[in-house]
Structure 1
Amino acid sequence: MTLLMLIQIDAQRRPKYNDGPYIGSNDTSARIMWIQEGEKHDTVVSIAENFLFKKKGLPQVDIGDLDFEPDEFRRYENVSKFIAISDIHGQHDLFQVLMKAHNVIDEEENWIYGDGHLVIVGDVFDRGDKVTETLWALFKLEKQAKAVGGKVHLLLGNHEFMILHGDIRYINPKYRFTTGSFGIEYPKLYDQHTVMGRWLRSKNISTVINGIGFVHGGYSQELLNKESSLKVLNNTFKEQVIYSEDLDESNDDLLSMLYFDNGPLWFRGYANPVGFDLEQAKVILDILGLKRIVVGHTSMPRIVPVHNGRVILIDSSIKFGKTGEVLVYEMDSLYRGMINGHKTSLDTNDKDRSPFKYVHDFKDKELTIILDTDIEELIKNKEEEKYQKSKLTAIHDNEFNRSWDVRIRARGNMRKKVCHLPPLKIDFPKKTLNYLGFTNHDKLKIVLPCNSGDEYQQGLYKEYVVYQLYKAIDSFGFNTRLVNFILADKAKKRYNLTGFIIEDDKDYSLRTNAILVKDGIVNDQAFERESYIKMHFFQYMIINNDYAIYNKHNLEIIFPEGAKKPRAIPYDFDYAGIVDQDYAVPPSILPIDNVRQPFFRGKDITTEEIVTTSLFFLEREQEMLSIVNNADYLNKDNKKLISRDLKRFFKLLKNLDRTKKAFIKEKKK
């Protein structure tokens, strides 16, 4: 292989990142560094030339207009309107969508908010891959807003502080590529010799608008016992903490408190439904001379007012890149600003918000749930379905955790009898749900492996992939997502395993707008025929006979919105042959010896229905095989076994005579 070929291969493999510009400047010149299409660039230009940095895929920067005025702490009064947002975390595209939706910027990303104020309540840095884009956008908007009587407040969050002090644990891989390309440490790109580094160090940690305070984390009572002046706290942080290189060794109590967990950038107390209450909120607001306080830092499903609206939590999980909200103030009222530009009352609870939906919608992010409870008691009482106390700790993306006191109990008709570890139901206290905006949803259903060990874990994974397969044929299938679980207790018993959460009836009904039929007996002739046949085809494909129409066993009977006939939606697939759990046995009423024997249970199917439904499934053959092949949680052997069963099913469908023989039963005379 020639050197030229090696160079070409290396170029093809190199990520096509765009990043920058990173600008260092003095009175006469500016050094500009950037990455374009994976290639590094480094040049020096004269500031006198009024050079405009303009490269495809990168922020446009006027090199002749890099000056700025440091922010000074003040209390702003008589502001007619403002918008606040927090924890953007590199999700620049979503930030732009929200800004355009609420008329802060136009399509060219220029300021159109007049004399309004835009407050960024910390944490532009880390996680996402468009941090630089947001910073330069704010740099430009700050100048444009000032020119027309408006104001941009970029408040520092803990992630800004971390970057400026060398903690790069959460930077996106794109920025590791940048630093590797230039042979420079990431914090050096924001040191005091750079435009952006100086600009960031000139920013406040708090501001006050119309009596409403803004700070990334919050002010703890412990901190305010040391110093209660917002101006002093802000200026001390700017002048001493932000520039200090040895805070861990500081003997100054105030500096230490500003820096550590009870400091204004790290404090999470306001989002603790147990450890913080209305009276504490009143005391803190009185000390600070505020009507309300707005904070980010702790991810919520939406903007949530707590303590009778005295504290507003505005980190609406923008960091996940899916959706988000802004806090809107206009006409002396506060609103939640939605991603589509609509506004809703601050205290409105969305009827479709739930713990399940929140976790499910961010399924590409790793989640660990620790249940600290009496495991022996849980197992002993599993058949009684008796609630017991538990501490639930949720850990997102291996970073911060949040804990609540909950109740848990066993559930599941058969599994609680045959499994050492039963499926669980979590019951959240109403107070906790009110904090999260989940007023009408207090339950979370969990499916766990039957026991610890790889065999049981793979058994759960096989059932989980069946849920994904069903979603490929029917959008009315149940939503699920994998979650890491740790069961632990004081006796040092510990189970580390992966389970999945599944929609409960309320979540399912709200998502699908379907009516769930719980009472009465149904028969095969009552169902919408097309979905009825598809459901039976699917059950045959996964070799499952553990369901029954007449008593709704492992079937949810639903009336979709506007439908005249019901549909049957399957769930609980642990007895399916494709899952092949060691405890699974076939129904005694069927002429089969084990759960690996397929048996078609649809009634009165016609040749035309077989042809039509076979074509429907065959069109999805590759999609279903891909679902299995892309299921990284399955081991190689189980992928092979499940794929073999699916291929056997699809092979059958390609032979009409064999399919008719398997599906059409001769009626008894």
Structure 2
Amino acid sequence: MNKILTLAALTLLLSSQISFADTSEKKDKPSQMQGAIFDGPYLFDQSKNEKAHMAYWICANKLLTTPVTNSQLSRPNSCGQLPEPTLNPKAKEIAANAYTGVSKIVALSDIHGQFDVLITLLKNQNIVDKNNDWAFGNGHMVMTGDMFDRGHQVNEVLWFMYKLDKQAQDAGGKLHLLMGNHEQMVMRGDLRYVNERYKVAEKLLQRNYDELYDDSSEIGQWLRSKHTIVKINDSLFLHGGISGEWVDRKLTLDKANQVYRDNIDKSKPELKSDDLLNFLFLGNGPTWFRGYFEDDYNEDEIDRVLAYFDVKHIVVGHTSQTQVLGLFNNKVLAVDSSIKNGESGELLLITPNEGQDTLTRGLYDGSRVTL
């Protein structure tokens, strides 16, 4: 009887074409919270016996498919403005852990599915052009994690970053897409913060939300090739922060990034049962640490970490601010500017200048202020 009622309730919701927008996200615009669901594309590995590689789309709450032709995905007619990505055969190549001689860097964090805010910010700061294509030349862009959860346009953010990944490399630049705690949570099936609208995709594709991005999916394979920490010039970038425990353990970037990739799909009990994995993925590990923002934090610990990595700055997201912020004389640079609220945001620009980095806040309206 309960199953019959549940099915009837779900059918009623789908037929009414009411959006499954997360009611806890009160900042979402009304136009985003009403009307039919348009979502996708979703792309998975398919049997070699298939005549065509198929892409899956949610169009007005209905599941449609289109063939992938010459690595190009084309959305069905009357299916909104969903991304039409070109597949990148090099998307899953593993990049270096450290870079030197980079002429300009832009960093931001914690997008949480707020695609419209992200695009406006990047356009106004001339990181992308009017067509949402890469315009940062040979510069490096760092997204320090948390594209997933909370917001209503996660898939749009992911495919946009997928496109920029190739465009940046083609221009002589680089996109560094780092894994945050919410990427890790989704991949191990912790779905507490997923926007309710994605229940439509789960139902129609007959996959749990984490399975939409598992290692059989194009986006999932791409994400699993990415780092959690990267060093560029004299700055270290990651999601949460580096505690002194990292130094005590004498971990290297090479080892840590490989351990993250090798264990990203393990369950929480599996992670907790291993001392190193418990540190890296949970507790005060690099994707969860918030110590820099605590009143009693000892600056000597930062100096110890800076010396260990031979850097001047540690750039982090994860802990929300109202703006890009410099702490401890800019030893720590906080770039979570609360984009997740869906209203505005900032980014950080780093420009080497005769051994002294110029640090600049890139504001939502396109203006810039020295940090």
The TM-score, its normalising length taken from structure 1, stands at 0.48
Separation of aligned partners in 2, 1:62 and 1:147: 14
Aligned-pair CA distance for 1:25: 2.9
Separation of aligned partners in 2, 1:198 and 1:139: 11
Aligned-pair CA distance for 1:253: 1.7
1:234-289 Cα distance to aligned partner (Å, 9 max, x none): 222122x2133465465432121112111111111111122x13221111111222
Q: Counterpart in 2 of 1:306?
A: 327
Q: Counterpart in 2 of 1:145?
A: 168
Gaps of 5+ in 1: 1-6, 347-669
Q: RMSD of the TM alignment (CA)?
A: 2.1
What are the within-5 Å matches in structure 2 for residues 461-540 of structure 1? none
- Number of positions where the alignment pairs a residue of Structure 1 with one of Structure 2: 335
> What one-letter code is carried by the residue in structure 1 that aligns with 2:119?
Q
Aligned-pair CA distance for 1:11: 3.4
Check if 1:291 corresponds to 2:312: yes
Check if 1:22 corresponds to 2:22: no
Gaps of 5+ in 2: 1-10, 20-35
Contact 1:21 1:34 in 2 (8 A): yes
The DSSP-based 3-state class of the residue aligned with 1:257 is helix
Aligned-pair CA distance for 1:98: 0.9
* Structure with more strand by fraction: 1
From 67, 73, 83, the counterpart of 1:59: 83
Deviates more, 1:91-100 or 1:225-234: 225-234
Separation of aligned partners in 2, 1:10 and 1:278: 54
Separation of aligned partners in 2, 1:54 and 1:42: 8
Q: Counterpart in 1 of 2:210?
A: 187
Q: Counterpart in 2 of 1:424?
A: none
What are the within-5 Å matches in structure 2 for residues 609-624 of structure 1? none
Check if 1:116 corresponds to 2:139: yes
The TM-score, its normalising length taken from structure 2, stands at 0.85
What are the within-5 Å matches in structure 2 for residues 388-427 of structure 1? none
Contact 2:86 2:163 in 1 (8 A): no
Contact 1:75 1:211 in 2 (8 A): no
Separation of aligned partners in 2, 1:318 and 1:106: 20
Separation of aligned partners in 1, 2:159 and 2:342: 19
From 259, 272, 279, the counterpart of 2:300: 279
Identity of aligned residues (%): 36
Aligned-pair CA distance for 1:91: 0.6
Q: Counterpart in 2 of 1:259?
A: 281
> What one-letter code is carried by the residue in structure 2 that aligns with 1:306?
L
Write out the 4+ residue segments of structure 1 that deviate beyond 4 Å after TM superposition: 7-10, 26-29
1:581-633 Cα distance to aligned partner (Å, 9 max, x none): xxxxxxxxxxxxxxxxxxxxxxxxxxxxxxxxxxxxxxxxxxxxxxxxxxxxx
1:434-458 Cα distance to aligned partner (Å, 9 max, x none): xxxxxxxxxxxxxxxxxxxxxxxxx
Q: Counterpart in 1 of 2:15?
A: 11
The DSSP-based 3-state class of the residue aligned with 2:221 is helix
1:52-79 Cα distance to aligned partner (Å, 9 max, x none): 323532011225x454242334221111
Describe the shift of the 1:33–1:299 C-alpha distance in structure 2 as closer, same or farther (beyond 3 A).
same
Describe the shift of the 1:32–1:285 C-alpha distance in structure 2 as closer, same or farther (beyond 3 A).
same
Separation of aligned partners in 2, 1:111 and 1:141: 6
Contact 1:277 1:307 in 2 (8 A): no
Separation of aligned partners in 1, 2:232 and 2:209: 34
Aligned-pair CA distance for 1:87: 0.2
Separation of aligned partners in 2, 1:250 and 1:168: 18
Which structure is larger by alpha-carbon Rg, 1 or 2? 1
Separation of aligned partners in 2, 1:10 and 1:299: 35
Describe the shift of the 1:184–1:10 C-alpha distance in structure 2 as closer, same or farther (beyond 3 A).
closer
Check if 1:220 corresponds to 2:243: yes
Q: Counterpart in 2 of 1:612?
A: none
> What one-letter code is carried by the residue in structure 2 that aligns with 1:61?
P
Q: Counterpart in 1 of 2:339?
A: 318
1:350-390 Cα distance to aligned partner (Å, 9 max, x none): xxxxxxxxxxxxxxxxxxxxxxxxxxxxxxxxxxxxxxxxx
Q: Counterpart in 2 of 1:176?
A: 199
> What one-letter code is carried by the residue in structure 1 that aligns with 2:317?
G
Check if 1:338 corresponds to 2:342: no
Describe the shift of the 1:67–1:53 C-alpha distance in structure 2 as closer, same or farther (beyond 3 A).
farther
